[in-house]
Structure 1
Amino acid sequence: MFTKLRSWVLLLAFFALGACTEYAYIPPPGPEGQACVSQCRFDQQQCRAFADRDYQHCNASRNFAMAAYNRCVQSRGMGCVQPPSCINQSWRCSGEYDRCFRGCGGRIEEVQPRR
């Protein structure tokens, strides 16, 4: 039973890894294209820095609100609203970079992963 289950898990893991899409970034030719892509990279770094900063501020506010929530629960137990979780939005920066990269004349091509 265990061996059969392990075989299925390994088979599923193999297919999951095979399903991962990889991309090749082909930069635009010429110095203007290279300068444009450099600006895209800078903008992406800024985007990630702002997203990380916002996430840290959100967590600081959430910690304060969570302390108030815990006090509410201890004193009343009802009618207390738990603060929402924070989500780091830096994932959005990749899409913005891709649009910028293409706007500079670069190409992004899907590459079949090696097996």
Structure 2
Amino acid sequence: MTQKDLNLRQRRWLELLKEYELVIDYYPRKLTLSDNELKAKPLFLKQIYEAQKCDNELQARRVQCESTTYSDYQIGSDDCLMFQGRICVPKNSELIQEILHEAHNGCLSVYLGSIKMYNDLK
């Protein structure tokens, strides 16, 4: 089956799935999926994590977070530094441009104004 054989809805799903690393395990006659059977991880998360390692300010926050119990910063389950539950994106203009470009031009983006885009990125 080629992409030309797909309808518009299927093509949009295909474009969305291309942005994730997927691991799908199929078990015949099994109806439910557990967390270990279907895993999707945004590709940007790896890039952000790697960029965090090169940012001195975020590395200092990571050390501070690891040494104190009360902090607005946390280490997420994916080992990314987070501030109040949100991933800290380093001051890396190339990465920021990539994220903004995908948010604005990605296959699922619908431009309804800057407030919607801000809330989606938040």
Normalised by the size of structure 1, how large is the TM-score? 0.32
Structure with more relative contact order (C-alpha pairs < 8 Å, separation 6 or more): 1
The structure whose residues are more often strand, as a share, is 2
* Largest Rg, 1 or 2: 1
